[in-house]
C-alpha cells in the first residue's frame, strides 16, 4: 500500500486506479450503466467511514431509471468524493443526527439526476460560486481538487454538477447526466 494513502480501505481500489488514469488523461471506459448499482458499490466501499463517523445513510434510488453511457469508475469517484465530503462536513455535528441522503431520479428532460445531501454545517453562500474551482477549499487540510475533479468528470460525460444549501441545514450536491433513449435496466 502506498505511503500517501489516507484511507487504506480505499487504496488499490478500481475507483482510485481510474482516478489515476483520469489524471494521466486515459480515455474513459464508457459502457451502459445502472447508476443505482454504482451508488450501491460506493456505499459499500464507504461503509467503514460511515460507521466510524456515526453517519446514517438514507437512499431514495428510483429502480426504473434509464441506463446512461458512462465510465462507471469515474462516476463512482464522483459519488465517493461527494459521500466523503458529506461525512467530513458532519464530523463536528453533535446536536442533531448525522444523515447522508442519496437520491437518484428521472429529470424533466429524460436525464438522470443524482444528489448527495448531508446534514452538516452547509456551505457559506459566498463560497457557492467557488466550490468547483481548482484549489479552492474551506478545509484546514483540504487541497481543493476533489470537487474540481468531480466537476471535470461530470462535464466530460456531458452533464452538470451543482451545489446548494440544503434545508434546514447542510449541503446538497447534484449531478445530471443524459440517459440513453429507450434503454432501461
pLDDT band at 123 (very low <50, low <70, confident <90, very high): confident
The verdict on residue 8 lying in a domain is no
Question: Which range among 16-20, 55-59, 109-113, 120-124 has the greatest average pLDDT?
Answer: 55-59
Give a yes or no: residue 183 inside a domain.
no
The answer to the question of residue 6 being in a domain is no
In a domain, 77, yes or no: yes
87-96 pLDDT per residue, tens: 999 998 999 9
Residue 184 within any structural domain of the chain: no
Residue 185 lies in a domain: no
Find the CATH number of the domain harbouring 50.
Answer: 3.30.565.10
> Which domain, by its residues, includes 161?
14-178
Residues 6+ apart with CB under 8 A from 11: 1, 2, 5
130-155 pLDDT per residue, tens:
777 776 566 656 666 788 899 999 99
Of 2-16, 75-89, 166-180, give the lowest mean pLDDT range: 2-16
pLDDT bracket for residue 15 (50, 70, 90): low
DSSP 144-158: S-HHHHHHHHHHHTT
Does residue 110 lie in a domain region?
yes
Structural contact between residues 33 and 75, judged by C-beta atoms closer than 8 angstroms: yes
According to DSSP, the β-strands at 99-106 and 56-61 are: parallel
Rg of the chain over CA atoms, in angstroms?
16
Q: What per-residue confidence (pLDDT) applies to 17?
A: 60
Number of domains the chain is built from: 1
| Residue 9 included in any domain | no
Amino acid at each position: 500500500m502506498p505511503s500517501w494513502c489516507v484511507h487504506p480501505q480505499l487504496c488499490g481500489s478500481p475507483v482510485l486506479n481510474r482516478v489515476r488514469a483520469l489524471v494521466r488523461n486515459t480515455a474513459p471506459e464508457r459502457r451502459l450503466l445502472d447508476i443505482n448499482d454504482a451508488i450501491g458499490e460506493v456505499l459499500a466501499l464507504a461503509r467503514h467511514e460511515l460507521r466510524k463517523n456515526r453517519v446514517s445513510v438514507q437512499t431514495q434510488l428510483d429502480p426504473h431509471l434509464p441506463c446512461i453511457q458512462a465510465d462507471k469508475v469515474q462516476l463512482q469517484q464522483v459519488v465517493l468524493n461527494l459521500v466523503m465530503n458529506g461525512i467530513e462536513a458532519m464530523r463536528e455535528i453533535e446536536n442533531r443526527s448525522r444523515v447522508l441522503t442519496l437520491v437518484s431520479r428521472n429529470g424533466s428532460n429524460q436525464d438522470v439526476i443524482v444528489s448527495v445531501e448531508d446534514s452538516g454545517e452547509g456551505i457559506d453562500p459566498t463560497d457557492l460560486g467557488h466550490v468547483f474551482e481548482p484549489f479552492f477549499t474551506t478545509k484546514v487540510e483540504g487541497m481543493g481538487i476533489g470537487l474540481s475533479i468531480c466537476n471535470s468528470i461530470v462535464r466530460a460525460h456531458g452533464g452538470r454538477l451543482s451545489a446548494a444549501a440544503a434545508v434546514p441545514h447542510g449541503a446538497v450536491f447534484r449531478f445530471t447526466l443524459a440517459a440513453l433513449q429507450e434503454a432501461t435496466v
